């Protein structure tokens, strides 16, 4: 976790390596006598003296190749497979042998950090869109209830009042358990965790059992990691099994929601927006009715079993934000909170109090065009956010976006078509090209938009610093610019180098240069 104190620092009393091997029935090479471990890590960059270093086979190299570096950094032992043990045999480190280091990582980390002892209330949120929003809203409401909270999201990790920048949507299992140990020291009582499909496929939440798991929706994304939508969907389902969660809350606002309910092996309750977003959906246990939409908030009524209900506001635009907030509230009810107590806390504050970095975040002032920076990077996210921006735009809607390089290429044409359909002017630029040619990425987007809407006004501008200035030049009072993709991120990935960059600051600078005061 860059910028934070070491994740293992002060989070675990020493544990006997011999006891670890004995309790898990693991073979070992070398003497374990007197060796104690205080942390677990996959990365020599995060290593602290006393750590157990885990050598995992990768796509190009085996982590055990770095055993000498780990020993020099203070690692006291290596956990790896037979191939890793052979690679690291000259390192001098005692070796714990497992068949799959990654599969063992979660349970071993839980044991080392004692995260199953006095665990906080754990909430997990999965889905294509809305994971981050729901997690932040959940954390915000928990704070309004007076709890010390923790958060693990795409954007940030929170340990009480401490904020740390995230590297992965869901951290590796060793980091996740270290994070929970830090939270225990800070007397955190409830934690909201974003759980991606990749996290479930790659064992990143192993060793955890969530009190409540929530499902937002499923739409086209991540087909660079999964062969098709069915495989992507199946990757989500393990979260709704007894070894992963106790209870579940499932939104029926996408067609996959009912399938999650049918496949779940834990008790689940359901929720949907009314009138329904998805045709033909079954009745849900809870319903969300949009009552009022303003530029500063969306008001909604949440109604549930036994005539229970509450009316509150979420400080974001769009029905989908109300749906995320309602999902968060029902997850809290399933976690043991009384709906009436939640309603009272929200009433006292005039609604939900939460800040979502880079989620339809307005970065403009009172004069000139409204500029929103958003993290959305899928067709469905574009569709919902453009509709929300359109509702409060008396003038033109200008859409500015690019596409990730070295990521799911199959969604790019649909992203472009949706962007063109929902905007008056489209500006195509670069995002994270990574090792792809940015010009080729832009051409795919422009060609798809022009094929679908030949008469649409489309501009291709690179780099994004120039693109936002071009968009501002095309806008006037009463117009809106939606810059989708970068959101909260503070860098661009260009040929593997993370170049410092802030879309929010670039947008503000472009407005100032155009004469619009913030």
Q: Which residues are annotated as a binding site?
A: 42, 44, 127-133, 169-170, 196, 204
Cα 86 from chain centre: 37
Q: Which residues of 10-45 are buried (b: 16+ CB within 10 A; e: fewer)?
A: ebbeebebbebbeeeeeebbeebeebbbbbbbbebe
Q: Which two tokens stand for residue 451?
A: 């094929």
Cβ-Cβ contacts under 8 Å for 481 (sequence gap 6 or more): 369, 370, 371, 372, 398, 399, 400, 468, 471, 472, 475, 507
Residue 361 CA to residue 483 CA, distance in Å, equals 10
* Burial degree of 267 (CB within 10 A; 0-12, 13-18, 19+): exposed
Classified as helix, coil or strand, 37 is strand
As a whole number of Å, the CA-based R_g of the chain is 24
Q: Return d(Cα 297, Cα 352) in angstroms, integer.
A: 10
Q: Which residues contact 504 (CB under 8 A, 6 or more apart)?
A: 358, 361, 363, 373
Is residue 40 within 8 Å of residue 76, measured between CB atoms? Answer: no
State the SS3 of 126-147. Answer: ECCCCHHHHHHHHHHHHHHCCC
Give the CA count within 13 Å in the CB-facing half-sphere of 222: 21
CB 193 within 8 A of CB 124: yes
* CA 182 to each of CA 99, 179, 222: distance values in angstroms, whole numbers, following the listed order: 29, 5, 31
Integer angstrom CA distances of residue 245 from 136, 139, 210, 253, 289: 20, 19, 4, 22, 28
Q: Residues 21, 96: contact at Cβ < 8 Å?
A: yes
Q: Which helix (H) or strand (E) holds 418?
A: helix 412-421
Q: How far apart are CA 172 and CA 233, in angstroms?
A: 21
Which tokens is 111 given?
């044991």
The binding site for ATP consists of 127-133
Three-class DSSP category at 430: coil
Look up residue 197 and give its two tokens: 């499909």
Distances from the Cα of 403 to the Cα of 81, 141, 367, 416, 444, angstroms: 38, 33, 30, 9, 10
On the CB side of 209, CA atoms within 13 Å amount to 10
């Amino acid at each position: 976790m860059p910028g934070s104190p070491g994740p293992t620092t002060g989070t675990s009393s020493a544990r006997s390596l011999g006891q670890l091997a004995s309790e898990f029935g693991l073979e070992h090479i070398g003497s374990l006598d007197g060796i104690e471990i205080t942390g677990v890590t996959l990365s020599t960059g995060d290593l602290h003296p006393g750590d157990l270093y885990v050598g995992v086979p990768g796509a190009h190299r085996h982590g055990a190749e770095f055993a000498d570096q780990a020993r020099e950094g203070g690692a006291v032992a290596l956990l790896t497979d037979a191939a890793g043990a052979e690679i690291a045999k000259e390192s001098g480190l005692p070796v714990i042998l497992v068949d799959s280091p990654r599969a063992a990582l979660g349970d071993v980390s839980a044991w080392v950090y004692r995260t199953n002892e006095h665990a906080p209330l754990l909430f997990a949120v999965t889905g294509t869109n809305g994971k981050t929003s729901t997690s932040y809203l959940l954390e915000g409401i928990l704070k309004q209830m007076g709890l010390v909270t923790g958060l693990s999201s795409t954007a940030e990790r929170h340990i009480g009042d401490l904020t740390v920048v995230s590297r992965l949507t869901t951290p590796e299992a060793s980091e996740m358990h270290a994070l929970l140990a830090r939270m225990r020291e800070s007397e955190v009582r409830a934690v909201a965790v974003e759980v991606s499909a990749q996290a479930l496929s790659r064992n990143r939440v192993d060793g955890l059992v969530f009190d409540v798991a929530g499902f937002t929706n499923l739409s086209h994304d991540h087909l660079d990691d999964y062969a098709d939508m069915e495989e992507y969907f199946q990757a989500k389902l393990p979260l709704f099994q007894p070894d992963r969660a106790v209870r579940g809350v499932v939104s029926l606002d996408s067609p996959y929601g009912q399938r999650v309910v049918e496949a779940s092996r834990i008790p689940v309750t359901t929720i949907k927006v009314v009138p329904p977003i998805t045709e033909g959906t079954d009745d849900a246990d809870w319903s969300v009715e949009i009552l009022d939409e303003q530029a500063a908030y969306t008001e909604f009524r949440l109604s549930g079993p036994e005539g229970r209900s509450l009316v509150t506001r979420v400080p974001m635009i769009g029905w989908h934000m109300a749906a995320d907030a309602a999902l968060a509230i029902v997850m809290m009810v399933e976690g043991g909170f009384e709906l009436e107590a939640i309603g009272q806390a929200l009433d006292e504050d005039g609604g939900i109090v939460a800040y979502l970095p880079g989620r339809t975040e307005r970065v403009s002032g009172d004069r000139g065009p409204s500029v929103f920076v958003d993290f959305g990077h899928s067709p469905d996210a574009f569709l919902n956010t453009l509709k929300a921006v359109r509702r409060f735009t008396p003038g033109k809607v200008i859409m500015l976006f690019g596409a990730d390089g070295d990521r799911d290429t199959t969604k790019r044409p649909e992203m472009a078509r949706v962007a063109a359909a929902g905007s008056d002017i489209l500006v195509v630029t670069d995002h994270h090209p990574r090792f792809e040619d940015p010009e080729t990425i832009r051409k795919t987007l422009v060609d798809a938009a022009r094929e679908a809407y030949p008469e649409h006004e489309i501009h291709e501008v690179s780099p994004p610093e120039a693109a936002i200035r071009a968009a501002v030049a095309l806008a006037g009072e009463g117009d809106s610019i939606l810059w989708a993709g970068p959101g909260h991120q503070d860098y661009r990935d260009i040929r593997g180098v993370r170049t410092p960059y802030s879309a929010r600051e670039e947008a503000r600078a472009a407005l100032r240069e155009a004469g619009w005061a913030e």
